Structures are given as C-alpha cells and as structure tokens.
Structure 1
C-alpha cells in the first residue's frame, strides 16, 4: 500500500507538470485580441456587463473623455452610505437590519416597517430541528466558509419547495438565509474550535430581541457578554460590507448562477465560494497577519523612515510572505479613497481607545499614509491607491476578539443581504443566461491512433 502511494504521488506530480505546461497562454495574446482581463479596461474602468439599481460604486468622473479621479462614494439604492451611517448612528440604533430592508425593497423603512421586518427575521433565525447537531457538529470543517456553503446546500433538503424561483418563494428563502447565516457561521466556528482545537463547546441560541450584531457576539462568546460600543461597531462593519455593486466577484457570481435558473441555495453557496478567496473576502486576514509581521520587525512604530524601509522590503518580495503586496492598500475601483474605510477608521479609533490599543491604531494610520508613496516608487500605476476596507476591518475584528477563522464569514453574514437583492433583481429582469465569450488560441491538430502516439 505504501509503495502504491509513492507511485501515485509521482504520477500525480508528473501529470501536474504536464497540466501546468499545457494550460499556459502567452500573455501577449491577451493584448493582441484585446481581452479585458478581470473584465477591466487598461485604464481601470470596468467592462459594462449589466445594470442594477441596488448599489453604486463611484470613484471617477469623465471630463471630455478624460478620467478624473474623485474621492470614492458608495451608494445603496440611491442613498450615500455616509448619510445612512450618520442617520442610524446619530439616532443611537443598529443599522444592519434597515440596510438589508433598503437593499431588498428599495426604500428606507419607517418605524412600523422596521419592527415588522425585525420580527420576520427573528422568526427565520431558528434552524431546522437537529440541523446544528447533524450537519455542523457531526462533520466539523477546518474552514468556516466551506462549512457555511455546505450548510446552505443542506438547507435545500429542508425546503418543501426549493426549486420554485417565483419572487415570493425566493424572497422567503433569502430572508431565511439572512436571518440564519450568523448561527450557521458561529456554530461552524464552535465545531472547529471544539473538535479541531480542543476547546470547550459553546452553543448559544440566537435571541429574538437582539439585533444581528448583538446575536453574533452573544453566540460567539462563552459568557455572551459584550459592550454597547462593540455591538455598534460590528453592526457598522456589517452595514459597510452588505453591498458593493453588481460587479464585485461574489455578487457577479450570484448574477451568473442565478441566470441559469437554478435554486437559491446553489446560487448562494457559489457566492460563498467566491467570497472565500484571499483576493476577495479573505483579504483582511492577510492584512492582520502582515501587521503582526510589521510589529515584530519594525522596532520604532513612530519612525516613518523605518516603516518605509520595511514596506519597501515587502514590496520587493524580501519580507513577509514574499508576494510583493502591501495588503489592504489599493482597490480595483476606488483610487483617492474608499468611503467604507473613511467611516470605519473613525469608529475603529474609538474602540482602540477603549481597548488601550492607540499605539497599534497609530501604526495602522502610519502605514496607510506611507504605503501609497512607497508603491508609487516601484510600480507603474494608472491611478492613485489608498487603503481599502480590508485594511481596518481585520483590526476591528481583532479588537472585538472575533477569531481570525470568522473574518471571511463575517463578510458573508453581511453580504448575503446584497446577494439576495441581486438574485431577485436578476430573476425579475432575466433575459438570457450570462455567457461571455472566450477565444480559443489552440493550434489545430490531426488525430493520431493510439498506436501512433509517442
């Protein structure tokens, strides 16, 4: 048996080399055939592939055909995100639920609408009987995003009408997923912590009188305790992550998969798979790990020159993970500023003061200030770069004592609201299955009989 495994590894290694070699495409061909890699033009503008009324990401204006970079704006259903945040924070209330309502139904709820919506979500929070035990605890995953996707697919089996794509049924399914995503994610983490980390197992049920952010902290912590500022900051993070236009990868996946006519559970599990990737929802983990490295290597956190030297080493692939990337700096759309970062940074500063982490927060602000200049010295850029939301969100989650394994799932808990709105929008406006073109650049070959092949 051991010998077979050794042979199997060798065969696999050889086949891998063949597969890699024959999958390579000359990069020059992408320019020759004007392929929009990443569905983006060379000047950074996205290739228009659809229309939406749900979210808008604004980062430039056109003046006589010239792109003029402007401070970034994020707009939900016509409302600027800064106005939405100002509204619920000044009223000292939670904002994620009314944000989800806005994204789904296109208008801000009044007091009665919001109370009824919260009641609906509370009614959908409960998982099917024995679901946590049979589908989460009995088969703990080492990755919570995979556990979350598996749980979503498993819920298909408990739906009496899972393939009905009428708006009434899809809305019901989406509301259920929005409501139960916190439980699915947190229970997935508790199973991981217990069975793979030898920690005590805590399973707290969601409480209907609590809002989403409060329930997450309550279910995640052994004693279920949290401060008001902690819950408000987590709620803010959920609001800022809830939607980002139709072109972000996981939302585009939602549109693509929905356009096939498939069920809600399949579409949402596909979106989770997209969000899991380190280039998308997993980016804030990289930021936190990069800063742990910076804190260990930079002796004086207030010395700009020392920080710049180390950022240069990261950029030249001589430090950290040797990728040449300063994580959390730069965005596919935003240039001068990411509005989510601007908002989250202010509230992160408040929590840092409460936690006694001012020095670490100041290090973040120094890197945010210095990194664009360091990058500009080494890379040819078509636009300005600035800190994106991943730059501070990981730091916020760390201050909230949220385990790193939960960072990407936190993103999913928020973004399911946006995915749900986009799925409904795609169904309502569906015309064709989304199928972009790929040009084959393979050479034609003559068939050879098996006996003639080398």
Structure 2
C-alpha cells in the first residue's frame, strides 16, 4: 500500500505554523475572567446542563450542600440498572446486546416476539451491499480501522434508497442496519489492514444472520471462524457495558450536535466514530494496554507491591509511561468510588483469565487498581476519590479473546452505535433547536492594508 506524497513546501509550512502560533495565543486567565466553561464543564468539574434525556444515567456522586459526596457508581439504561440486565441474561444464559439495543432505541424491553423479529431484522441486514467490501474497503485500506469505519459509514449513504428523511421510522431502519453492519465493516477493514499493512493473509468470512453480534465478531475476525460459547458471552457483556453512557460523553454529544443541524444519519454517526477515535475518549483503552505492557517489561516481580508502587510513582512523576504523568485506566469524570462497567467486566473476566492462563496479568491490574488511589493522593495532595474505569479491564478481555489491538476501539464503536442511534432519535424528535454554544471573541479591530503595504 503506497501513500500519496505531500507537495506542500516544508518552509511554507513552518512559516504558516509560526504565524498561527504568534496570532493565536489566549492567556489562561481570560477563561476565568470571562467565566468561560472550557470543555462545557463547570468550575467543580460537572458538565454544563444543555439538554434532557430518557436514555441513560451515569451516577457517581451526590451533591450535599454544594459538596460532592462519593457513592458507588451506577449506570442505568432506560431506568434499568446495568447490573440487573446482565444478571437477568446470565440467569437465562442468553446473549443480550441486541436486547439492550432494542431497549435503548425503542424505550422498553421487548417481548419474546418483538425480540425475535428484531434479531431477525438485524440478521438480514448484516450483509454489506454488493461489492462494498471490494470498492469501499479493499481499494483504500486504512492502517487505522476507525478511519475506515467512519468512511464506510459515510459511503453507506450512497446505497440507501431514502438516506435523508428524518422520520422516526426511517432513522430506526437506518439504526438497525448500522447496528447489523458495523461488525462486518470492522472485521473486513481489519482483514484489509492485515493484508496491505501487516503483510499477513486475509480471511473474509461471510456473516451469519442466525448468530448474535458477539458471535459474528469472533467468527468474522478469527482465521478459522471458531469460538467457544463462554468467549462469545464475555464479548457480549463487553458490548452491553459499552452500549450507552449518557448524552454528555464526547461522541454521543457529537451525535446530538450534528443531528440538531438536520443532517442525515450516516453523517451524524460518522462524526461520532471520529470523536470516539480520540485517545481522550474511546482510544484510551489502547493507552492502558501500552502502559501495562511497559510495566510488565520493567517490573520483575508483578506480585511485589513495593515494586509496583515504586513504578506507579515514576509514572506519576513523568519518569515512566508516556511522560504524561497519568495512570491510564484510573479515574473518571463522574464515577468516584467505582465504575460499574469496570466492576462488571472484572467479575466476568476472572473465570476466563484463570482458564486461559492470564491470572498473573489480571492480578497485576487489580494490584494497580488497589495501590493507585493512595499513591495519587500522596503525590498530588488530593483527597479526590479515584476508581478504576472500564478501560482498565476491557483491553485484557479483548487480549484474552485473541482480538488484535487495532480492533479495541472499533469494538467500542460497534457497541456504542445503539446508544448513538438512541441519542439521534431523541435529539431529532425533542431537541427543537440547532446546538450553538458561544465563544468569546478576542479580536480587535485592524485597519486593512493593500497587499504591497504589508511588508
């Protein structure tokens, strides 16, 4: 795979960049002076209230006389505690991602008849359009699957007989189709990456309309297409835990913003995919994986609490890790005492870790989770509660399932598509106005000069 060379003069680039830096300085004190809420966050870290939603609730603290009071984290989908949803599925030994998708997009849990029809529709919609893989994925493979997923999502607009209509029925139809096709797109994009960037063989399996989303992912990605029921059920639980996380997270808010303009579904979802790719959002799971790989290389005894603690101190001091001073996988903007997604994933991952020989790695992750809060408090002089977030355990789960790192964030997108579609439906039907926040203008009036007078 060859890339297009750049013909932009490097000297010109340097000059343009220096000019930008010179004319775009914004002193940090201006944000305080003008009470600008950077990142749409209040001074106490809470989000600026910009809308209402019936979809999900991310609950990590309560306000007691203006002060944050930490509580165990709680995540609800349409009022249902995510723990209860997963427990119910485990009792009946069923796959549940499709059912959660129905709940989020439609508003209530389905009856058996409704679920059967919903799953049947998803199965029939899994196949990509004729020659789509060849024309839209293979002809321009990407080293990053998230970029290809965004591009392929936009390309699906051209194959939709009614792409622009924003009725509930039409958006629902498009949502079911995207929910069905995302696993196929990311698996085919991964195979193209293997062939053109990694020099490996490519295996293109046909999606099975009778299998669940989790089963299809493992079937499509693995060379032999085989998997165990336990593996598929664990992946199913990952998809459920990533399906929705409130309207304030970056990618869901992106769906809200773009949908408020009246744009089509494919444009709104492609924008959300692009937002999720960022390392401050969905791409954070890869940073956790890289950090633990480095720890395992530099700590001889992973069970030695002192050695692990010393290394965590080095990370916080910027002497280890990527130099950012951050321990990835720890801390969350809302959750304080616990992230329910991390709690549920840790519980589900432990049996597989023991059966697949990953117990030592799981023990190391749990040790980091145990030691970090106290070390962080001592180093930073902070009494802010800190818990492990979902990224702490999702990477290990994907590793145990034999899934490549390049698919970690695309799998997040494959789960979150149902939440995105639910937010799009809600914004289109209840939003009412285009989302348009304000920015403080800082430019002063300048007298125009003719070209030859500019020096």
**TM class by smaller structure:** over 0.9
Aligned partners of 1:380, 1:22: CA distance in 2, in Å? 37
Q: Does 2:88 correspond to 1:52?
A: no
For residues 40-86 of structure 1, the C-alpha deviation after alignment (integer angstroms, 9 at most, x for no partner) is 12222111011000011011112233321111100100001111111
1:208 deviates by: 1.3
Structure 2: runs of 5 or more not aligned? none
Aligned partners of 1:373, 1:66: CA distance in 2, in Å? 21
Match of 2:44 in 1: 43
**Residue correspondence of structure 1 range 337-348 to structure 2 within 5 A:** 337-348=338-349
Match of 2:16 in 1: 15
Contact 2:55 2:77 in 1 (8 A): yes
Aligned partners of 2:23, 2:400: CA distance in 1, in Å? 47
Match of 1:184 in 2: 185
Match of 2:282 in 1: 281
1:237 deviates by: 0.3
Q: Give the alignment's TM-score, normalised by structure 1.
A: 0.97
For residues 236-272 of structure 1, the C-alpha deviation after alignment (integer angstroms, 9 at most, x for no partner) is 0000000000000000000000000000000000000
Match of 1:87 in 2: 88
Q: Does 2:22 correspond to 1:25?
A: no
**Residue correspondence of structure 1 range 131-280 to structure 2 within 5 A:** 131-280=132-281
Secondary structure, in 3 states, of the residue corresponding to 2:74? strand
Secondary structure, in 3 states, of the residue corresponding to 2:57? strand
Contact 1:43 1:382 in 2 (8 A): no
Aligned partners of 2:20, 2:233: CA distance in 1, in Å? 50
Secondary structure, in 3 states, of the residue corresponding to 1:73? strand
Contact 2:377 2:383 in 1 (8 A): no
Q: 1:115 to 1:299 in 2, by over 3 A?
A: same
Aligned partners of 2:405, 2:381: CA distance in 1, in Å? 33
Match of 2:324 in 1: 323
Aligned partners of 2:381, 2:153: CA distance in 1, in Å? 42
1:123 deviates by: 1.2
Match of 2:300 in 1: 299
Match of 1:366 in 2: 367
Contact 2:377 2:384 in 1 (8 A): no
Match of 1:428 in 2: 429
Match of 1:440 in 2: 441
Secondary structure, in 3 states, of the residue corresponding to 1:69? strand
Contact 2:83 2:344 in 1 (8 A): yes
- Superposition RMSD on alpha carbons, in Å? 1.5
Q: Does 2:36 correspond to 1:65?
A: no
Q: Does 2:410 correspond to 1:409?
A: yes
Q: 1:297 to 1:80 in 2, by over 3 A?
A: same
1:426 deviates by: 0.6
Q: 1:7 to 1:286 in 2, by over 3 A?
A: closer
Aligned partners of 2:191, 2:112: CA distance in 1, in Å? 35
Match of 1:356 in 2: 357
1:446 deviates by: 2.4
For residues 126-182 of structure 1, the C-alpha deviation after alignment (integer angstroms, 9 at most, x for no partner) is 111111111111211111000001101111111111111111111111110001000
1:7 deviates by: 8.5
Secondary structure, in 3 states, of the residue corresponding to 1:197? coil
Aligned partners of 2:39, 2:90: CA distance in 1, in Å? 36
Structure 1: runs of 5 or more not aligned? none
Q: 1:178 to 1:382 in 2, by over 3 A?
A: farther
After the TM superposition, which segments of 4 or more aligned residues of structure 1 sit over 4 Å from their partners?
4-7
1:382 deviates by: 7.0
1:9 deviates by: 1.0
Q: Does 2:101 correspond to 1:100?
A: yes
Contact 1:186 1:220 in 2 (8 A): yes
Aligned partners of 2:42, 2:139: CA distance in 1, in Å? 47
1:404 deviates by: 0.4
Contact 1:44 1:382 in 2 (8 A): no
Aligned partners of 1:23, 1:381: CA distance in 2, in Å? 33
Secondary structure, in 3 states, of the residue corresponding to 1:317? coil
Q: 1:378 to 1:24 in 2, by over 3 A?
A: farther
**Residue correspondence of structure 1 range 360-399 to structure 2 within 5 A:** 360-379=361-380, 381=382, 383-399=384-400
Deviates more, 1:183-192 or 1:103-112: 103-112
Aligned partners of 2:439, 2:96: CA distance in 1, in Å? 42
